């Protein structure tokens, strides 16, 4: 038997609430707010309370998909990344950087979101950056 509570930070917004991800034998079983976390002091909002759910969601994409002949098909990471790079280059050259938009995610870390906006602004050259939590 392997029961654990892993201390981590909620990904859903920038407040930085501390919580424990509760797991039993390698499967997530719940979220417990951390009472000694200075930000949230043992409290969470409804999103934080359910933050463990998306990890094991059956709806989660686990492999890259590429639309071919109007149908999504499973492809390798190499093929998916080659396609993204070539299309981004092509669109930027043909219509300018503002023809591209970047959507970040509430289900990744702050650092990963930072990289996403940095890539948008520095590599592509657009400020078209948005996030699913700002709906």
**Binding span for other proteins by CB under 8 A among 35-43, 63-71, 94-102, 126-134:** 35-43
How many beta carbons lie within 10 A of that of residue 18, not counting itself?
20
Q: Closest CB to other proteins among 5 and 128?
A: 5
Distance CA 60, CA 88 (A): 25
The residue assigned the tokens 């463990």 is 52
- Residue placing its CB nearer to other proteins in the complex, 3 or 77: 3
Contact call for residue 29 and other proteins (CB under 8 A): yes
1 binds other proteins (CB under 8 A): yes
Q: Of the listed pieces 43-51, 54-62, 81-89, 90-98, which binds other proteins according to CB under 8 A? A: 43-51
Site for other proteins contains 20 (CB under 8 A): yes
CB of 47 to other proteins, least distance (A): 9
d(CA 129, CA 119): 10
Measured CA distances, 63 to 12, 72, 79, 97, 107 (Å)? 23, 11, 12, 28, 16
17 HSE (CA, 13 A, CB side): 24
Please work out, in degrees rounded to the nearest 5, the angle formed at the alpha carbon of residue 103 by the alpha carbons of 89 and 109.
Answer: 115
Distance CA 20, CA 95 (A): 46
Which lies closer to other proteins via its Cβ, residue 30 or residue 64? Answer: 30
Report in angstroms how near the CB of residue 54 gets to other proteins at its nearest: 17
Name the site residues for other proteins (rule: CB under 8 A). 1, 3-5, 7, 18, 20, 22, 24-25, 29-37, 40, 42-46, 48-49
């Amino acid at each position: 038997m392997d029961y654990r509570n892993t201390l981590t930070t909620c990904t859903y917004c920038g407040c930085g609430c501390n919580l424990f991800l509760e797991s039993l034998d390698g499967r997530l079983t719940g979220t417990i707010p951390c009472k000694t976390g200075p930000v949230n002091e043992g409290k969470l909002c409804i999103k934080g309370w359910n933050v463990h759910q998306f990890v094991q969601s059956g709806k989660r994409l686990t492999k890259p998909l590429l639309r071919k002949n109007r149908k999504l098909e499973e492809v390798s990471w190499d093929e998916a990344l080659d396609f993204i790079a070539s299309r981004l280059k092509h669109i930027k050259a043909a219509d300018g950087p503002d023809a591209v938009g970047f959507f970040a995610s509430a289900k990744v870390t702050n650092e990963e979101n930072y990289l996403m906006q940095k890539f948008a602004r520095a590599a592509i050259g657009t400020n078209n950056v948005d996030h699913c939590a700002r709906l």
